[in-house]
Amino acid sequence: MAVERTFSILKPDATRRNLTGKINAKLEESGLRIVAQRRVQLTRTQAEGFYAVHKARPFFNDLCAFMISGPVVLQVLEGENAVAKYRDVMGATNPANAAPGTIRKEFAESIEANSVHGSDSLDNAAQEIAYFFSQCEIVG
């Protein structure tokens, strides 16, 4: 297995309920390392650009509105097999289908307010990281 980097967002439902520490504890317990982290208020342009791949989906406008409804925490996570590992730790997109012990099972409110985003492939991870972070902000 190779050491990888993946991209993570702690979403507005997580910051609103003051859950960022609990979520970080869970991902650190899994062996992932937070090598970059920044709390920001996204603009609509940033949210639409980030989720451009979902532009044609019926939930696109609501998703972007939700993602700018409060602060988010942007992260780069590093570890063995980080992309797949973080997806395991997050659980299924819809918390109703998420396995016990996963972040979304424990914390998510709905399929939209599902507390965390994580990259779905190594290629997308590299693109998503570059969308928000410069090389010098990532300290492994």
Answer yes or no: 54 catalytic: no
For residue 23, what is the enclosing H or E element? helix 20-29
3-10 and 33-40 strand pairing: unpaired
- Of the residues 82, 115, 117, 133, only one is catalytic, namely 117
Q: Is the backbone of residue 48 left (phi > 0), alpha (psi -120 to 50) or beta?
A: alpha
Q: Per DSSP, what are the bridge partners of residue 136?
A: none
Of 107, 114, 125, 132, the residue at the interface with ligand CMP (CB under 6 A) is 114
| Residue 92 near ligand CMP by CB under 6 A | no
Instruction: Select from 25-33, 70-78, 95-103, 108-116 the region that touches ligand CMP (CB under 6 A).
Output: 108-116
| Residue 84 near ligand CMP by CB under 6 A | no
Nearest to ligand CMP by Cβ — which residue?
117
d(CA 108, CA 99): 12
Cα–Cα distances in angstroms (integers) from residue 62 to residues 38, 56, 131, in the given order: 24, 12, 21
d(CA 105, CA 109): 9
Of 117, 125, 129, 133, the residue at the interface with ligand CMP (CB under 6 A) is 117
| Residue 106 near ligand CMP by CB under 6 A | no
Contact pattern for ligand CMP over residues 30 through 69, marking x by CB under 6 A: ------------------------x----x---x------
Residues that bind ligand CMP (CB under 6 A): 54, 59, 63, 93, 111-112, 114, 117
Active site residues: 117
